[in-house]
Structure 1
Amino acid sequence: MKPILLIFDLDDTLVHSRMDFITLGRWIKEQILQKNLTRLSADELSTMSVSQMLKLVEEYDRVKGTSHGRDLWGKVEETEYQGMMQATVEAGAGEVLQQLQARGFILTVLTNNSRKTADTVLRRFGLVDFFEQVVTRDEVEELKPHPAGILLIKNQYVSKVSSIYYIGDSWIDGEAAQAAGVSFIGFNLDREEVPMVTHVSNLGELLDFFHQVSLPG
């Protein structure tokens, strides 16, 4: 029996940073509009994630030969790292990951955070050794909701596992999973936001969902 691969989001799934994504997104939108970096309206930008807005700026830079994206990413990295330094770990995360690992699951992480941030916070809370692989924005060309990161992991394991699940707290996680052809488990996420096979309100509920899965043999 082949094992099951679980891919976890990081922020607001395994850990909880103090990063204010709403304020950051609003600031980036204002910078884009003030500097006329897109023809999109404020309302259109408001429907986009931070990574999607930054993608627009990077495309503008390529055409115009400017470096606005670098400046905005600098602000993102500063805000992200400061938020993660004040992070807390999701209740029971270590115990649940330990049990899943003992039952033969392959555990990985996919996050839009930087390598520096992801490694720092996973080590801080003693979670890093549970994961066979951690993929950050530094290893992919497109960020969630693009499926590139999930596909990177999926393509490495697809022949070795019986099924693949992505666990995340945001619509961008659900859209990325759907586009990659991977089952999505919503974590404290409105069931109506994106298609999902199940919803959990704490990590311990994953053990109940997968209660029929045993060690591969």
Structure 2
Amino acid sequence: MDNTLLHSTIDFGAMKRDIYAFLCSHGVLSPGLSMDTHTTSTVIAEAMNTGQLSEELSSMMWDIAKEHEIQGMLGANLEEGAMELVRQLQGQLHLAIVTNNAVEAAMAALEENRIAHYFDLVIGREAMGLLKPAPDGYMAVLRHFHHTSPKEWLSVGDAWVDGKASESAGIPFIAYRGDMARMNRMGVIPFAEIQDIQEVLGYLQPHITK
């Protein structure tokens, strides 16, 4: 969703550092974790794997993330061409959003931009066991639309975690203005690469009408 549908200003670097500092200060993680190779979601996964993340600490950790998300979503505008794209696809294809953000923050931004009603399903982190790059969110979509198969879907995102999660669920991934070098380093091989969100339409024929 971020920087694919919405041009948000969430400072993911600051979010990652703040959460890591919090986890270190409470002895859940040790100093020295490489921030270059980790994302917020992988830092959180490391914390969960320790077995030392209590319910109280977990709640406090997610509050840090939600604060960054809400601030970064304030006044977020749509990516150019996003509204036209979803208007054309609504009613012709199932439309779903999978985001590591809290669903509260995601829905607030989508509703502010009057685009929420175009989507059949919005999966926030509350519906996932593990965040992207784990495939849990995409698997939730497949369970919801149980009459569909992974290969009948296309996933669009800008980050390697999107691609890794999508590919792990068996769903072809399209990189939108992504860092291809980093994606490849992380083992993500997109089905296609686009610079304009409207280019998605070319990969959906003949399933849609003009």
Q: Specify the TM-score bucket, using the shorter chain as the normaliser.
A: 0.7 to 0.9
1:16-95 → structure 2 map (5 Å cutoff)? 16-39=7-30, 41-43=32-34, 46-60=36-50, 62-63=51-52, 65=54, 67-95=56-84
Q: Give the aligned partner of residue 172 of structure 2.
A: 183
- Report the number of matched residues: 203
CA distance in 2, matches of 1:119, 1:32: 28
Look up the match of 1:173.
Answer: 162
Is 2:142–2:148's contact at 8 Å kept on the other side of the alignment?
A: no
Per the alignment, in what secondary structure is the counterpart of residue 117 of structure 1? helix
Deviation at 1:112, TM superposition (A): 0.8
Measure how far apart 1:158 and its partner are.
Answer: 4.8
Q: How far has the Cα of 1:80 moved from its partner?
A: 0.7
- 1:68 Cα deviation after fit: 2.9
Residue 5 of structure 1 aligns with which residue? Answer: none
The residue type paired with residue 122 of structure 1 is L
> What TM-score results when the alignment is normalised by the length of structure 1?
0.83
Q: Give the structure with higher Rg (CA).
A: 1
**Counterpart-to-counterpart distance in 2, 1:50 and 1:34:** 16
Distance 1:57 1:126, change over 3 A: same
Is 1:205 the counterpart of 2:199? The answer is: yes
Higher mean alpha-carbon deviation, 155-164 vs 196-205, is at 155-164
TM-score, normalising length from structure 2? 0.86
Contact 1:51/1:143 (<8 A) preserved:
yes
Report the residue type matching 1:120 in the other structure: A
Q: Which residue number in structure 1 is paired with residue 4 of structure 2?
A: 13
- Contact kept, 8 Å, 2:156 with 2:176, in 1: the verdict is yes
Q: Distance in 1 between matches of 2:14 and 2:164?
A: 23
Check the 8 A contact 2:28/2:52 in 1, yes or no.
no
Cα distance, 1:97 vs structure 2? 0.8
More strand by share: 1
Superposed displacement of residue 75, structure 1: 1.3
Conserved in 2, the CA contact under 8 Å of 1:147 and 1:177? yes
State the percentage of identical aligned residues: 26
Question: Structure 1 63/75 Cα, relative in aligned 2: closer, same or farther at 3 Å?
Answer: closer
The RMSD of aligned alpha carbons is 2.2
